[in-house]
Amino acid sequence: MATNLPMFPELGSHPWAYPALGVVHIIGIALLLGNLVLLELRVFGFGAALPIGPLARLSLLLAATGFTLAAASGLLMFSSQPAELLSNRAFTLKMLLLLAAACNAAWFHGRNSLGRLDRVARVQMVGSTLIWLAVVGCGRWIAYL
């Protein structure tokens, strides 16, 4: 029988645990989104003197690290109040947008868009940035809905 009890109730009772997770979550988002935007700027011609290959390897490694931090802290925050979050429309939209981001990333890497850097690759990159900005926006709205 499933319950809606928090998996980690101590997160809500400790005065700094949840805020500390929030800080880790924001650092993860900054690493993720900042590095995706950096790579996108290079693809669109800014910093053309920087070789795309090494920059992409570094940017994607840091973006993946940021995603890992954001996902781990987000799962812990979710575990402290799953029932409330599952009934929150902003949270639901955020999860759908994360699925869209994952599908876009799989498509991007599956078609070797970084090797092509064609019009489709550029659309995928702009789409990724817009999706991630919407994820951040929904994350902020969770507290208000």
What pLDDT does 10 receive? 64
7 assigned to some structural domain: no
Q: Are 132 and 36 in contact (CB under 8 A)?
A: yes
116 assigned to some structural domain: yes
What pLDDT does 6 receive? 61
6 assigned to some structural domain: no
Question: How confident is the model over 48-57, as a mean pLDDT?
Answer: 95
Q: How confident is the model at residue 1 (pLDDT cuts 50, 70, 90)?
A: very low
101 assigned to some structural domain: yes
Total of domains in the chain: 1
60 assigned to some structural domain: yes
pLDDT of residue 14 exceeding 80, the answer is no
| Block residue for tokens 């890992």 | 68
Q: Are 98 and 138 in contact (CB under 8 A)?
A: no
106 assigned to some structural domain: yes
pLDDT of residue 77 exceeding 60, the answer is yes
What pLDDT does 35 receive? 97
114 assigned to some structural domain: yes
131 assigned to some structural domain: yes
Q: Identify the domain containing residue 93 by its residue range.
A: 12-144
